[in-house]
Amino acid sequence: MSGGAPIRDFKDLEVWQAARAFRGEIYKAAWLLPELEKFGLANQLRRAATSVTANIAEGFGRYGYQENAQMCRQGRGSVYELRDHLTTCVDEGYLSPAEGERLDRMGQRVAQMLNGYLRATLARKTSPAA
């Protein structure tokens, strides 16, 4: 969320918003997979994409900084899982290299944002005002 508006809900977090956009793109890609992959790889793509946003939301709702940080780490792990699945999609010819790269860049951006959010969360824990 830009402009210095207060963060009152996980939906206000820029990282959650970016992860939501990424999830939408992953869902679209999953629909493009051949029928034989609808249960396997497509399901894994959807589950991992949902895990990213869900972990950010769950972490936001946790009581302690360490719990929030752990949920962010789990979400970041799901981003990397997605990046690997996207590589599989390109390798198998299900996605073009250009589309795979576009989605991978989105995933990298979400991971970077999660790293920043994680640093900020842990910094609040150690600040005197916390």
d(Cα 130, Cα 122) in Å, to the nearest integer?
Answer: 10
Neighbour count for residue 50 (Cβ, 10 Å): 15
Which portions of the chain are predicted below pLDDT 50? 1-2, 130
- pTM value surpassing 0.75: yes
d(Cα 72, Cα 114) in Å, to the nearest integer?
Answer: 7
- The CATH number given to 11-126 is 1.20.1440.60
- How high is the pLDDT of residue 121? 84
